[in-house]
Structure 1
Amino acid sequence: MARRNVLITGCSSGIGLALAVKMAKDEQKRFKVYATMRNLAKKEPLEEAAGDRLGKTLEIKQLDVCDELSIKACVNSIPDRRIDVLVSNAGMGLIGPIECQTIEEMKTVMDTNFFGLVRLLKEILPDMKKRKSGHIVIISSVMGIQGILFNDVYAASKFAVEGFCESLAIQALKFKLQLSLIEPGPVVTEFERKVFEDGMKMDLSAADAETAEMFTNIYLKNYKQIFQSLGQSAEDVAEHTVKIILAENPPFRHQTNTLYTPMTTLKYADPNGDLPIDIFYKMVFQHDKIFSASLNFIKLLRWRSRKSFDLGKPSQ
């Protein structure tokens, strides 16, 4: 198998960094990774993680998904502009009551998460069509399937990505291209920590007292517990993504977290859409103690599973 050129966006941390390193360190050397980021001043963690693969199977390049000229310059710097696998990973989050968010903040999320993907494809898709080969992989989210409390704008950006890709996938088939949406649930990364910290610092004065109380004492209070109970690591998501890239017939959608699958299944169980909304409402406002206890139980089971696995390793 010929080595595939892989361009990944958003590689300064989190899923992008983990994926770039994993593919660059592939034992069979099946990939040449172009790991990109908006700000090259943040490249040191990637350089350290890449180790001796840097300059060999991994190159770091500047790319800002919100800047068409930056995208073109990056693609032009790749030999023959050949990108066999595009991984659209760059993104940003936003949580909180919409009354406390500016329209400019909302536009920035949409510009990065949705239009960032569109800009990439406008530059890269025509070359893939000419070659009639290529795999477009988008790091989406389960929130592209089902909205979550106080994630209104972020969910909207991911819904936009999912709808856009559903339409594009039909055309892609005609050109023998593959398109896959990777849909993680909670992932414990610097991305999520920053979103949480920004939420903690949010000025809630524009919201009514009940909404502010709901965001502070229900959403933020449970945020860390949800990630501790259901969260995956960036490396885990990267492993799922590599398997999809290597698959002979990769699926259009792939959820990386089986613990979260029952939540998204609710969306398809009721065509009217009432079931998931009703269940989430009851979980949050009527059965919050049971919900909290369930998260603690899941966390305990996962901890015991990891402990059992660790104890099973041979001693050094």
Structure 2
Amino acid sequence: IPHSVAKEPGGCCKCRNSELKRMARRNVLITGCSSGIGLALAVKMAKDEQKRFKVYATMRNLAKKQPLEEAAGHRLGKTLEIKQLDVCDEQSIKTCVNSIPDRRIDVLVSNAGMGLIGPIECQTIEEMKTVMDTNFFGLVRLLKEILPDMKRRKSGHIVIISSVMGIQGILFNDVYAASKFAVEGFCESLAIQALKFKLQLSLIEPGPVVTEFERKVFEDGMKMDLSAADEETAEMFTNIYLKNYKQIFQSLGQSAEDVAEIILAENPPFRHQTNTLYTPMTTLKYADPNGDLPIDIFYKMVFQHDKIFSASLNFIKLLRWRSRKSFDLGKPSQ
């Protein structure tokens, strides 16, 4: 039938195809999009060539939206909208979700978080509570608002940006690791219920990621008042931990864009560690049910074989540099 005389109830074929495409587009809500992984993922999904997503990129402070606006370019206002959302404020979450047509969120990416490093003697309980409130209870607040709609529709994908420190604690990351352990246990429990409602749940576990988030954590650590710690602990934090911090990120670190690529993968597993260079570290935990092996190895790496550890990081850094260089020349090395 000629397009001009098509009589189907839904209108002309072109209009119906356009409407079907619009309906098939998935609404994605991402938290913590002012920088880092959140910004990279929001832009990646908004620029999807198949236009599968309408991205609602959120952040606590809209005064920090300029980098996202610049990165989004002409997609801004089309496949990407910026909204205010504070994961520590229930009303802020409700207002944001209510502003989305039909409150329909097909994919939720819980990415907002904060870090904290240093000796616990030098951290206040209020600082610790803020980390837990953001990293753990922030996720809980989001799900209390969004999960009932997903369960009712029996459709939805929940993506949580966790960390390898949700699997294995690291020196001077006690509180941050605790918050991520809480996230992992919460999601492992919730995943069983999610299956019943045909929902997907994915824990993304990056290792070191070079972002503004990590730079701020490092800078805060450099400025920390260590007077409450004993001399040996203060020395350990300054001359061992902080000294190796940058080297670890330069050797093992990923970019935010690398992590964003993983999230777009088809049928992601429940847990996914994004950094294969870091995987041997976390594998130690599964190799010994008693838990002694990883602690013993980390202790020896840091305090007994620190020169070998440093040399290994430099070697990895060199290999990665050579790999990138050859890739840029169009001749990938083995």
Q: TM-score range by the shorter chain?
A: over 0.9
Q: Percent sequence identity over matched residues? A: 98
Cα distance in 1, alignment partners of residues 210 and 255 from structure 2: 5
Q: 1:2 Cα shift? A: 1.1
Native 8 Å contact 2:323 2:332 kept in 1:
no
Native 8 Å contact 1:142 1:185 kept in 2:
yes
Matches within 5 A, 1:172-187: 172-187=194-209
Native 8 Å contact 2:154 2:199 kept in 1:
yes
Write out per-residue CA displacement over residues 77-120 of structure 1, whole angstroms, 9 at most, x where no aligned residue: 00000000000000000000000000000000000000000000
Q: 1:249 Cα shift? A: 3.2
Native 8 Å contact 2:28 2:55 kept in 1:
yes
Write out per-residue CA displacement over residues 189-222 of structure 1, whole angstroms, 9 at most, x where no aligned residue: 0000000000000000000000000000000000
Match of 2:307, SS state, is helix
**1:220 matches 2:242:** yes
Write out per-residue CA displacement over residues 99-143 of structure 1, whole angstroms, 9 at most, x where no aligned residue: 000000000000000000000000000000000000000000000
| 1:306 maps to which of 324, 328, 332 | 324
Cα distance in 1, alignment partners of residues 203 and 238 from structure 2: 32
Two-structure CA RMSD over aligned residues (Å): 2.1
Report 1 or 2 for greater relative contact order, CA contacts < 8 Å, sequence distance ≥ 6.
Answer: 1
Runs of 4+ in 1 over 3 A off after TM superposition: 244-249, 313-316
Cα distance in 2, alignment partners of residues 125 and 190 from structure 1: 30
Structure 1 match to 2:256: 234
| 2:290 maps to which of 256, 263, 272 | 272
**1:254 matches 2:276:** no
Q: 1:296 Cα shift? A: 0.1
Native 8 Å contact 1:65 1:90 kept in 2:
yes
* Cα distance change on mapping 1:313 and 1:51 into 2, 3 Å: farther
Q: 1:158 Cα shift? A: 0.1
Cα distance in 2, alignment partners of residues 114 and 43 from structure 1: 24
Structure with larger Rg: 2
* Cα distance change on mapping 1:284 and 1:315 into 2, 3 Å: closer
Cα distance in 2, alignment partners of residues 98 and 245 from structure 1: 33
Native 8 Å contact 1:38 1:62 kept in 2:
yes
* Cα distance change on mapping 1:78 and 1:31 into 2, 3 Å: same
* Cα distance change on mapping 1:215 and 1:315 into 2, 3 Å: closer
* Cα distance change on mapping 1:249 and 1:237 into 2, 3 Å: closer
Match of 1:5, SS state, is strand
Q: 1:310 Cα shift? A: 1.0
Native 8 Å contact 1:135 1:245 kept in 2:
no
Match of 1:181, SS state, is strand
Cα distance in 2, alignment partners of residues 248 and 265 from structure 1: 24
Write out per-residue CA displacement over residues 214-233 of structure 1, whole angstroms, 9 at most, x where no aligned residue: 00000000000000000000
Write out per-residue CA displacement over residues 135-184 of structure 1, whole angstroms, 9 at most, x where no aligned residue: 00000000000000000000000000000000000000000000000000
Match of 1:59, SS state, is strand
Cα distance in 1, alignment partners of residues 122 and 165 from structure 2: 21
* Cα distance change on mapping 1:130 and 1:283 into 2, 3 Å: same
Cα distance in 1, alignment partners of residues 220 and 265 from structure 2: 38
Cα distance in 1, alignment partners of residues 126 and 74 from structure 2: 42
Cα distance in 1, alignment partners of residues 73 and 333 from structure 2: 27
Match of 2:87, SS state, is coil
Cα distance in 2, alignment partners of residues 69 and 63 from structure 1: 9
Q: 1:53 Cα shift? A: 0.1
**1:25 matches 2:47:** yes
Q: 1:270 Cα shift? A: 0.2
TM-score (normalizing by structure 2): 0.91
* Cα distance change on mapping 1:187 and 1:245 into 2, 3 Å: closer
Native 8 Å contact 1:128 1:177 kept in 2:
yes
Deviates more, 1:217-226 or 1:304-313: 304-313
Aligned residues: 312
* Cα distance change on mapping 1:19 and 1:248 into 2, 3 Å: closer
Cα distance in 1, alignment partners of residues 49 and 211 from structure 2: 26
Cα distance in 1, alignment partners of residues 175 and 157 from structure 2: 28
Cα distance in 2, alignment partners of residues 314 and 174 from structure 1: 45
Write out per-residue CA displacement over residues 253-292 of structure 1, whole angstroms, 9 at most, x where no aligned residue: 0000000000000010000000000000000000000000
Q: 1:68 Cα shift? A: 0.1
Native 8 Å contact 1:65 1:112 kept in 2:
yes
Match of 1:33, SS state, is strand
| 1:291 maps to which of 289, 303, 309 | 309
Native 8 Å contact 2:327 2:333 kept in 1:
no
Q: 1:313 Cα shift? A: 7.4
Match of 1:308, SS state, is helix
Match of 2:203, SS state, is strand
